[in-house]
């Protein structure tokens, strides 16, 4: 596994050295993550002092209903290109991911028409690597960058975007799924362009660090 991580990092870094800024600016990265309606800042916040004679606390229905939502987001150096939330009762399979990719391509053609190519960076989750998904990716004109399995340290959404998002909402209780979705969408919309560019550019230093560590995990 370490050898494969190092090899892929070398491939990507070599391509960056050959192509320069165009390579970084054409990367579109995306991933999915659960976002919780309430993630306590400290363990103590998830506890409640109650005397043994105290009445049992009753939660309102919206609190019971709101637990977490699945966010899918694609972004590049210029900002968010597409984001969506998984409807309740659904799951991300190959067909759903293909529909997302088709929507993404339409969005890219609208808001990134100045880009000659789109280099897709996503992980090796099963919906991303099924034969049908790979076929559609090719038909849509995406070039998929190599990504080693089990490597969130080399995936910008994992080491950067989701980390900052979850830090922002940590300790806040959202009473409903809709309020959480609104808060997440607002946060994504309000981030400046340099926030996203910084996240993508961190790939370069992480590739270098991965190679120096002979493929070992890159710490924050």
CATH number at residue 34: 3.30.420.10
Residue 123 inside a domain? The answer is yes
Whole-number Å distance between alpha carbons of 31 and 50? 41
pLDDT at 40: 87
Residue 121 inside a domain? The answer is yes
Residue 49 inside a domain? The answer is no
pLDDT band at 88 (very low <50, low <70, confident <90, very high): confident
- Choose between 211 and 41: higher pLDDT: 211
Distances (CA, A) of 20 to 13, 23, 138, 173: 10, 6, 24, 44
pLDDT at 81: 98
Enclosing domain of residue 176: 2-40+57-212
Distances (CA, A) of 147 to 6, 130, 206: 11, 15, 13
Give mean pLDDT, residues 161-178: 95
Domain count, the chain: 1
Residue 51 inside a domain? The answer is no
Residue 50 inside a domain? The answer is no
Give mean pLDDT, residues 50-72: 60
Residue 220 inside a domain? The answer is no
For the stretch 92-122, pLDDT in tens is: 999 999 999 999 999 999 999 999 899 999 9
Name the helix (H) or strand (E) containing 86.
Answer: none
Name the token pair of 11: 């491939």
Residue 27 inside a domain? The answer is yes
pLDDT over 80 (residue 74): yes
Residue 46 inside a domain? The answer is no
């Amino acid at each position: 596994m370490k050898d494969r991580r190092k090899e892929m990092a070398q491939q990507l870094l070599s391509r960056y050295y050959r192509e320069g800024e165009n390579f970084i600016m054409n990367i579109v990265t995306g991933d999915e993550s659960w976002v919780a309606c309430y993630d306590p800042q400290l363990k103590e916040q998830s506890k409640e002092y109650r005397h043994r004679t105290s009445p049992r606390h009753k939660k309102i229905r919206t609190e019971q209903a709101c637990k977490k939502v699945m966010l899918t987001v694609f972004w590049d150096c210029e900002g968010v290109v597409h984001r969506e939330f998984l409807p309740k009762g659904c799951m991300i399979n190959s067909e759903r991911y293909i529909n997302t990719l088709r929507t993404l391509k339409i969005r890219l053609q609208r808001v990134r028409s100045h880009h000659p190519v789109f280099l897709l960076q996503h992980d090796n989750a099963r919906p991303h690597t099924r034969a049908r998904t790979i076929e559609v990716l090719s038909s849509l004109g995406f070039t998929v960058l190599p990504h080693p399995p089990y490597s969130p340290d080399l995936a910008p959404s994992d080491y950067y975007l989701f980390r900052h998002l979850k830090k922002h909402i940590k300790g806040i209780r959202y009473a409903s799924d809709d309020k959480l979705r609104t808060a997440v969408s607002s946060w994504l919309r309000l981030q400046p362009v340099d926030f996203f560019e910084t996240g993508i550019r961190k790939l370069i230093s992480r590739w270098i660090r991965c190679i120096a560590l002979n493929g070992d995990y890159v710490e924050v």
